[in-house]
Each structure stands twice: as C-alpha cells, then as structure tokens.
C-alpha cells in the first residue's frame, strides 16, 4: 500500500524558515524521482521542486528558486523541503509525490501539511 505522510508545516512570519518532511512507503522509493507540490487557497495544485532518484539533480519552480532546497535520504525513505525567506505567497498546503525527470505521479496523495506565512 502506497503511503505518503507530510509533516513539518506551521505558522511562520515572513522571512522565516520551515523544513518539511515526507515519509514514503509502499513503492520503490530509491528508484523514483520525487517532487513537492503545493495548493494555495482557491488555486490548483502546482509544482514546487523535483529531485532525481539518486539526488544528483534538482529542479525548482521559478518563484522558489534560491529560497527552497529539496533533498532526500533514500536509506530513510524520506523527502525534505527546506524553505527559507518565506513569503506570504508561499502559504499553501504542501504535498509530496513522485514526479519530475520523466517520472509520473502516483495515484495516491497524502493529507499534505499546511504552511501559513503571516505577520
């Protein structure tokens, strides 16, 4: 059974930082490119960042490039997103899933973790 469990979200002031975690199970995690996605209020789910299966390549949505860093620990079946210099427009529910570098998304999504950036 595929499981994706996001954690680490919360309320933070503009300019602050958060580190999101994703615990994965039920599929060949170490051989699959992974991504973070987010969905802001009233908006559709959008791509944030991707990392190749071995972690050697990463890509980012233009608005987060230079502020966010995606990483993974295959031995721990975990995906991370370090978010620095947060802005109010980063407010969204953040999700992890497969994707990027030619990899399609899995059919199952987790509950996501809420990130709220506000003074």
In this predicted structure, the answer to whether residue 106 has a pLDDT above a threshold of 90 is: no
Cα 54 off chain centre by: 16
Whether 18 shows a pLDDT value over 90: the answer reads yes
Give per-residue pLDDT as tens, 28-63: 999 999 999 999 999 999 999 999 999 999 999 999
Tokens for 91, please give them: 């407010």
Q: Compute the distance between CA of residue 92 and CA of residue 89 in angstroms, rounded to an integer.
A: 8
Using only C-alpha atoms, the chain has a radius of gyration, in whole angstroms, of 13
pLDDT for 54-103, tens place per residue? 999 999 999 999 999 999 999 999 999 999 999 999 999 999 999 999 88
């Amino acid at each position: 059974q595929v499981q994706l469990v996001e954690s680490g979200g919360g309320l933070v002031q503009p300019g602050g930082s958060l580190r999101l975690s994703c615990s994965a199970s039920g599929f060949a995690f170490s051989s699959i490119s992974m991504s973070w996605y987010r969905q802001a209020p009233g908006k559709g789910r959008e791509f944030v960042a991707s990392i190749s299966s071995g972690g050697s390549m990463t890509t980012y949505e233009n608005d987060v490039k230079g502020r966010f860093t995606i990483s993974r620990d295959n031995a721990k079946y975990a995906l991370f997103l370090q978010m620095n210099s947060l802005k109010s427009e980063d407010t969204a529910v953040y999700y992890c899933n497969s994707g990027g570098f030619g990899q399609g998304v899995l059919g199952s999504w987790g509950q996501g973790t809420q990130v709220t950036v506000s003074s």
